[in-house]
Structure 1
């Protein structure tokens, strides 16, 4: 292991709670419409419930869009040629990417400064960008980290 983000467990919990919140609000919409048609609830409640369900869906999309790009852990194999990057999926599960070290851009190549709070993990072969933080995360193996991302100073 060369890097870990201790807060990834919190991000995972929030991601799963957003899924639960969205599911609950979507399940509540049909009964509210049914009761409105029956004349038991006012239109205000229908519009309020629909708005909350739409907001929950939009927030789920937004939150998962950012959480899927946060790196939780990075490992370097013993031969120092492959980087294993762990991040979250839409469902809040762990997903591992195996990248050749030669394909990973150094911090200088991404245009970031080592002093920035959030850094980009970019590859030469893909436009996909992941994010990690040496400020909130912890570099476990300094030499291995510098082998992949260059000097932090």
Structure 2
């Protein structure tokens, strides 16, 4: 079957809903329009996932390097160098993952423009989605502490002030500037 005549399939994506109402039940079956996208979100997710592989490689390699050092195949400093490189790499990747946690890669809005879907990266580098009502967004002018970093804007919620998402202004692409400004007040 050619691509031109294939029926459009709507798939329901796993989302976490902040507020539960009947309008959110139909959210998986509505058309979503992309308002914001961050092209480098896949790279950020890969960096966040890399710390798991770094941990496995460091933990699996230390006994091998220790055994080779005791057998006289490696110098006695090899274990110290291997563990220092492995642990410092792990610390660096973990700090990068903390900085990239809740970084928004895509923002979608439904046809009625009353719900938005935020697709963001969690600490482990996995894509998570959150379904929010537009009234729940706290505009930047109403936030208690504005962002000190000009290239990052926080997305705060009225219902859960502790939950914050990060939005990169400089590298993200806004497809509908008027709607974006109406939603976030930037």
Q: TM-score, normalised by structure 2?
A: 0.70
Q: TM-score, normalised by structure 1?
A: 0.83
2:133 matches 1:100: yes
Name the structure where helix makes up a greater proportion of residues. 1
Please give the alpha-carbon distance, in whole angstroms, between the structure 2 residues aligned to 1:100 and 1:29: 49
2:178 matches 1:143: yes
Q: What displacement does 1:15 show?
A: 2.8
Please give the alpha-carbon distance, in whole angstroms, between the structure 1 residues aligned to 2:161 and 2:107: 18
Q: CA RMSD in A?
A: 2.3
Q: Report the 3-state secondary structure (helix = DSSP H, G, I; strand = E; otherwise coil) of the residue aligned with 1:95.
A: strand
Q: Report the 3-state secondary structure (helix = DSSP H, G, I; strand = E; otherwise coil) of the residue aligned with 2:77.
A: helix
The structure 2 residue matched to 1:44, chosen from 77, 82, 85, is 77
Pick which of 37-46 and 68-77 moved more: 37-46
Gaps of 5+ in 1: none
Q: What displacement does 1:86 show?
A: 0.8
Q: Which runs of 4+ in 1 moved over 4 A?
A: none
Q: What displacement does 1:17 show?
A: 3.7
The structure 1 residue matched to 2:156, chosen from 90, 107, 122, is 122
| 1:83–1:98 contact (8 Å) kept in structure 2 | yes
Gaps of 5+ in 2: 1-33
After superposition, residues 61-140 of structure 1 pair within 5 angstroms as 61-110=94-143, 111-112=145-146, 116-124=150-158, 125-140=160-175
Aligned position for 1:9? 42
